[in-house]
Amino acid sequence: MKLLIENGRLINPATATDEVLNLLVEEGKIKKISKTKIIEEAEKYIDADGCWVVPGLIDLHVHFREPGFTHKETIFTGSLSGVMGGFTTVCAMPNTKPAIDSPQRVQELLAKRQEAGVIKILPIGSITKSQAGEELVDILALKKAGICGISEDGKTVMEEKLMKWAMDRAKEENLPILVHCENHKLVAGGVMNKGKLAETLGLEGIPPEAEDSITKRDIQLAQQVGARLHICHVSTKGAVDLIRMAKIKGTKVTAEVCPHHFTLTEETVGHGDPNAKMNPPLRGKEDVEAILEGLKDNTIEMIATDHAPHHEDEKALGFKDAPFGIVGLETALSLSITELVQKGTLTPLQLIEKLSYNPARLLGLETGDLSEGKTADITIIDPRMEYTIDKEKFYSKGKNTPFHGRRVKGRVMYTIVDGRIVVDKGRLIPELEEKYKEYR
């Protein structure tokens, strides 16, 4: 199919482009980019006047819950949620049941992705078998099956020797190792940030040191081994400082932060809202300020959602007993534009770098770049459009968000995967809508 995208503001970090350009897509590729009008007969024209035309967003960190927890999310509903949020590729964390710890599990996931036929899903393998923290997976076999990295997300590999070994193996296979940094001993049953508010609510706190100590350990291990370390969902000032220092020393470390950690503080927990409960927890004002500073000076070069859907009945158990995690795919872009671009922390170019170009570089993908000849994974955003977040409109099965009712700016108008429009004028295409209705 031939598609012409006209008059859009093309924002392409790969070439530092930020100007009004026309773009021709043909057979899933970007055929031509031009300042002057492209004279071609196309099957479809998109007038992108006033909109941003950006490389399809890439989310390094989602939980799609299939197999094992399909009442929370499936690969299909998660995929729809992703494209509605402007994502064309997501990396699926392995904490399913069973965990993604063998080539067969990877193949099953990829087959499900094929069947869903919407978004690109890159599996992340677990570090240990069944995420039990004991026996290392066969990293080479998993790599051959198609993983893009390894992670024990949701848990920390507490055994230092085992972690070092995992880094060694990941390095040998040239795979990034994505780490959830939390010292189990210091978390010790905590459910929110440790401090005055937790005390007032009578809840056990999770001290920032729980995150800082493992961040420090893993950076040191990565320095010794030379592994490609990626730090997930940074939430503390201490961790931002450690990552900054490590980079100055030349360590191969990258980091991501989630929109909730740069938008909210522990105050959002209020009297105990389970939709403000996640891992790592919402922290203090100084932590949010440090994260914003880290985003600005590129200590944190990626934004990921940590999309963690849970069922409403599970979240209804009350703050103490509800599971950790919130959904993020359908709110990440608007929150990022509202909180980071509108408030002057990042330029649009810097934001898209963190939401697409940098994750693509970490994973060694050729996407995340809107240059001629590249794959046509494209997101078109109207930055002027203001709306109120409504969880009932999410395609995700998970409605667990602390952002319901929040006014935000910037909306996804088109999501294009391999040259195929899947979100058209802000709506899912009829074909997928039908499948979604049937499925529900």
Ligand X SMILES: NC(=O)N[C@@H](CC(=O)O)C(=O)O
- Tell me which residues touch ligand X (CB under 6 A): 63, 95, 153-154, 180, 278-279, 306, 308, 324-325
What size, in residues, is the chain?
440
Contact of residue 325 among ligand X, Zn ion, none (CB under 5-8 Å per partner type):
ligand X
Residue closer to Zn ion, measured from CB, 153 or 314: 153
The partner in contact with residue 337, picked from ligand X, Zn ion, none with C-beta cut-offs of 5 to 8 angstroms by kind, is none
55 or 154: CB nearest Zn ion: 154
Residue 324 site contact among ligand X, Zn ion, none (CB < 5 to 8 Å, cut-off depends on kind): ligand X
Q: How far is the CB of 191 from ligand X (least distance, A)?
A: 11
Could you please report the per-residue DSSP string of 75-88?
A: HHHHHHHHHHTTEE
List 381's β-bridge partners, or say none. Answer: 52, 412
306 catalytic residue (yes or no): yes
Binding mask 150-189 toward Zn ion (x if CB under 5 A, else -) reads: ---x--------------------------x---------
Determine contact, residues 312/263, Cβ cutoff 8 Å. Answer: no
Among candidate residues 59, 101, 306, 377, the one labeled active-site is: 306
Taking the CA atoms of residue 246, residue 251, residue 257 and residue 261 in that order, the dihedral angle to the nearest 10 degrees is -20
402, with CB counted inside 10 A (0-12, 13-18, 19+), is buried
**Cα-based torsion angle of the residue sequence 380, 383, 386, 387 in order, rounded to the nearest 10 degrees:** 30
Residue pair 326/375 in contact (Cβ under 8 Å)? The answer is no
User: CB of residue 135 vs ligand X: minimum separation in angstroms?
Assistant: 21
Specify the residue, 158 or 245, whose C-beta has the smaller distance to ligand X.
Answer: 158
Closest approach of ligand X to the CB of residue 378, in Å: 28
Please tell me the distance from the alpha carbon of residue 336 to that of residue 126, in angstroms, as a whole number.
Answer: 29
User: Which is nearer to ligand X, 51 or 181 (by Cβ)?
Assistant: 181
Pick 31 or 63: Cβ nearer ligand X: 63
Instruction: Please name the residue that has the structure tokens 């998970």.
Output: 398
| 230 belongs to an annotated ligand binding site | no
- Rounded CA-CA distance 73/397 in Å is 5
Which amino acid does the sequence have at 369?
D
User: Is 324 assigned a ligand-binding role in the annotation?
Assistant: yes
Residues 300-319 as x/- pattern, contact with Zn ion by CB under 5 A: ------x-------------
**Three-state SS at 201:** helix
178 vs 202: CA distance, rounded Å? 33
Residue with tokens 């240059």: 371
Taking CB under 5 A as the criterion, which residues in 320-339 touch Zn ion? Answer: none
Give me the residues that bind Zn ion (CB under 5 A), please: 153, 180, 306
Residues placed in the known binding site for Zn(2+): 61, 63, 153, 180, 233, 306
Residues placed in the known binding site: 61, 63-65, 95, 153, 180, 233, 279, 306, 310, 324-325
Catalytic residues: 306
